Structure 1
């Protein structure tokens, strides 16, 4: 497993200390056991019967220790080969027994049965051979103990205990690594969810701000533009236009205050948390557009006022937003051009809205700022509620926006 944020890579000093303390423990344990065995052997055996080659064996024992110690440090470069060399050399060295045990435990942590089996067979064979060599080089012939099955059994049991210990350590390491990886994955998933939530909240804020302010500010811009460019207005017209500017500016400020209050409220999680306009307020939109100088016709086709009053609140709200956005776009891109709004449908089926306006051949003198994402946001809203929104430019030079929404049968939901 590669180091992650949940598992920082150890420093060089930590790696050196990890090798050092294990090496010191292994050498200390092996050296203590070797001195103990040699000391007890000298006390139990008269000096006259000890073989002359015993001193040579003792120095070979120390030499094997000096070879096995650096091999243990670099064992990770070739674990199977180096561990096999340590096992063979260490079997002929009492001082190296600690290094042999630790090396086999380290290999067993890899939990690869072919490697473990090969090293155990080599260890048992080398141990049996080293026992006979030790007896022939150090002990007198009459002191050589007879070979029995218990010796082989004891070696096998000891080897099994060493292997089980190594596999337990390896399993624990794998478990810790797995838990760390799961924690890292959970952290990344939580971060991704947080990022998604933040992106969704930013989109909601942008959509809400657009819906609330675009319509009002476009009216303010148009009327203030009239005050700037129409020099022939009489005082009464100037007062009326200024009153419209003031009224829409106050309305925009109040609605902005509501949106900001919603964003500061941590308990408000969706746009239903504030009072939303419905299709019952569409006349105010139409009157505002007419006051801005754009003729608007509104036609109900096979839809009665009573049917509109029974529209579900969510459908009524979405229809209002569609009319609001299309009228705002018409004022931006075709100021003064007539706009035709047609609503038709039937309860239990769907309700459709068509808004058309001619596309001017020349761009407006003072183009209003636009985000370019108003209709895209509306289309996303309608798709999420099972509806659809299409826009197109006809061959006759008119721009049409067609939107439809499912119209559930009459329910007890509050009137629009």
Structure 2
């Protein structure tokens, strides 16, 4: 949305009492020129009519002295010329002058109506009411000073009051319409700003999610690289076959890490409107492959999956996979050479339970492979977001245990069977 046009900024509620800006658009110049032609043109014709009696521009007024005609012409000229500045700071002084001059002026009548109409459009109702009342008073005094031949006093006052009321109502309608347009424009601009803010927030949330996903995916791969590189470092007398095997694992892990990174970064470029999860998104069906990768790095993994992975909902399966992946990664980092037992069990009624155990390393956790210290924190948050819980720590049996529980919503068929049994 574009900015509010300068000529309409005075319509805002906070600017109702401030003078309108003097800068005019082409449309304003055309309207002001037309108002000047109408207002000052009537002034010239009415003065000529009063002096010559050859025209019928004004009614047959009672005898008007020549000096009053010229005074009337001067007043009409001032009002007519003032129409060019009726949008600026001179509006209120010009309106006051018109209210006083309307007591006797004939030539300045139409120009005075244009000024009153401008007050109705550009100022609040209280200001308009004051000038409308002043106009009605002037209208009541005018027939006493300059009576019209052949027309009763009440008829002259009535027609003048009708014109004043019509002009005020017309200006109020235009003012209300412009205020409505400004209000709608302001609402549209606010809605656009809020939409941009929501988009920025969504981008921030998505980038945070991607950062967590990158940690979960890459930490596992890089820990494998570190372990194999460390094995080559501490075994300088390794046989060419062992070196080739370790190099092959390092190459494969590096290639897979790059592939995972490419897929995660691809989320930034992919425009998925269906709300589907972006790859990589492994579930419980990928646990055997995950365990095999750890075994290839020399970690003894005992995987015990007592459920059918395909029966677990995708969201629960993804969260469980990340928990197991982080548990194996931590075991390789802080307890290298130990055996890790992974147990996954549960049911739709009881939920999904994950238990990862490994012996506490002698001498305390190793710091050979540095970590960010946020892996378990991220897992705890992931479990909480999924509606579950996660705990970890050292047991009296001198084991490190990472246990988690995730809700297992029953699928539609299970729910239907349970309902039928009930």
C-alpha contact 2:319 2:386 (8 A) present in aligned 1: no
Q: 2:119 matched to which residue of 1?
A: 107
Relative to structure 1, the CA distance from residue 306 to residue 395 in structure 2 (aligned partners, 3 Å threshold; closer, same or farther) is closer
C-alpha contact 2:98 2:112 (8 A) present in aligned 1: yes
**CA distances 1:210-234 after superposition (whole Å, capped 9, x unpaired):** 4433312221122123223443433
Give the Cα separation in 1 of the matches to 2:82 and 2:334.
82
Q: 1:331 matched to which residue of 2?
A: 332
Residue 229 of structure 2: which of 224, 231, 238 is its match?
Answer: 224
Give the Cα separation in 2 of the matches to 1:153 and 1:205.
77
Query: Aligned pair 1:97/2:109, yes or no?
Result: yes
Relative to structure 1, the CA distance from residue 95 to residue 24 in structure 2 (aligned partners, 3 Å threshold; closer, same or farther) is farther
Q: 2:15 matched to which residue of 1?
A: none
Q: 1:34 matched to which residue of 2?
A: 43
Residue 367 of structure 2: which of 346, 364, 368 is its match?
Answer: 364
Report the count of equivalent residues.
Answer: 395
CA drift of 1:170 comes to: 0.5
CA drift of 1:180 comes to: 1.0
Query: Aligned pair 1:87/2:99, yes or no?
Result: yes
**CA distances 1:260-301 after superposition (whole Å, capped 9, x unpaired):** 66665545755546574332332332343344344445566x
Q: 1:44 matched to which residue of 2?
A: 53
Q: 2:16 matched to which residue of 1?
A: none
Q: 1:206 matched to which residue of 2?
A: 211
CA drift of 1:319 comes to: 1.0
Larger RCO (CA under 8 A, 6+ residues apart): 1
Q: Normalising by the residue count of structure 1, what TM-score does the alignment of the two structures yield?
A: 0.76
C-alpha contact 2:226 2:369 (8 A) present in aligned 1: no
Give the Cα separation in 2 of the matches to 1:393 and 1:163.
85
Relative to structure 1, the CA distance from residue 380 to residue 84 in structure 2 (aligned partners, 3 Å threshold; closer, same or farther) is farther
CA drift of 1:409 comes to: 4.3
CA drift of 1:400 comes to: 4.8
Tell me how large the CA RMSD over aligned residues is: 4.1
C-alpha contact 2:283 2:314 (8 A) present in aligned 1: yes
Q: 1:190 matched to which residue of 2?
A: 195
Give the Cα separation in 1 of the matches to 2:169 and 2:102.
20
Query: Aligned pair 1:132/2:165, yes or no?
Result: no
Q: Normalising by the residue count of structure 2, what TM-score does the alignment of the two structures yield?
A: 0.75
Instruction: Give the 5 Å matches for 1:327-406.
Output: 327-336=328-337, 339-356=340-357, 358=360, 361=364, 364-367=367-370, 370=372, 373-391=374-392, 400-406=401-407
Q: 1:163 matched to which residue of 2?
A: 168
**CA distances 1:374-402 after superposition (whole Å, capped 9, x unpaired):** 44554454344332334567799876543
Q: 2:129 matched to which residue of 1?
A: 117
Gaps of 5+ in 1: 136-142
CA drift of 1:19 comes to: 7.2
C-alpha contact 1:299 1:343 (8 A) present in aligned 2: yes
C-alpha contact 1:68 1:89 (8 A) present in aligned 2: no
Q: 2:66 matched to which residue of 1?
A: 54
CA drift of 1:132 comes to: 3.2
**CA distances 1:278-329 after superposition (whole Å, capped 9, x unpaired):** 32332332343344344445566xxxx3555633343233211111122223
Give the Cα separation in 2 of the matches to 1:110 and 1:247.
76
Q: 1:242 matched to which residue of 2?
A: 247
**CA distances 1:355-377 after superposition (whole Å, capped 9, x unpaired):** 35548747624525x4x554455
Relative to structure 1, the CA distance from residue 94 to residue 319 in structure 2 (aligned partners, 3 Å threshold; closer, same or farther) is same
C-alpha contact 1:212 1:255 (8 A) present in aligned 2: yes
Give the Cα separation in 1 of the matches to 2:44 and 2:260.
90
Relative to structure 1, the CA distance from residue 190 to residue 322 in structure 2 (aligned partners, 3 Å threshold; closer, same or farther) is same
C-alpha contact 1:72 1:99 (8 A) present in aligned 2: no
C-alpha contact 1:75 1:83 (8 A) present in aligned 2: no
CA drift of 1:101 comes to: 1.8
C-alpha contact 1:30 1:98 (8 A) present in aligned 2: yes
Query: Aligned pair 1:7/2:4, yes or no?
Result: yes
CA drift of 1:177 comes to: 0.5
Gaps of 5+ in 2: 10-20, 55-60, 415-422
Give the Cα separation in 2 of the matches to 1:73 and 1:363.
85
C-alpha contact 1:60 1:93 (8 A) present in aligned 2: yes
CA drift of 1:159 comes to: 1.1
Partner-residue secondary structure (3-state), 1:109: helix
Relative to structure 1, the CA distance from residue 374 to residue 18 in structure 2 (aligned partners, 3 Å threshold; closer, same or farther) is farther
Residue 178 of structure 1: which of 183, 186, 209 is its match?
Answer: 183
C-alpha contact 1:349 1:408 (8 A) present in aligned 2: no
**CA distances 1:4-62 after superposition (whole Å, capped 9, x unpaired):** 844254697734878766554444322221222222233339xxx99784225523541
C-alpha contact 1:92 1:127 (8 A) present in aligned 2: no
Q: Using the TM superposition, name which of 87-96 and 33-42 deviates more.
A: 87-96
Partner-residue secondary structure (3-state), 1:389: strand
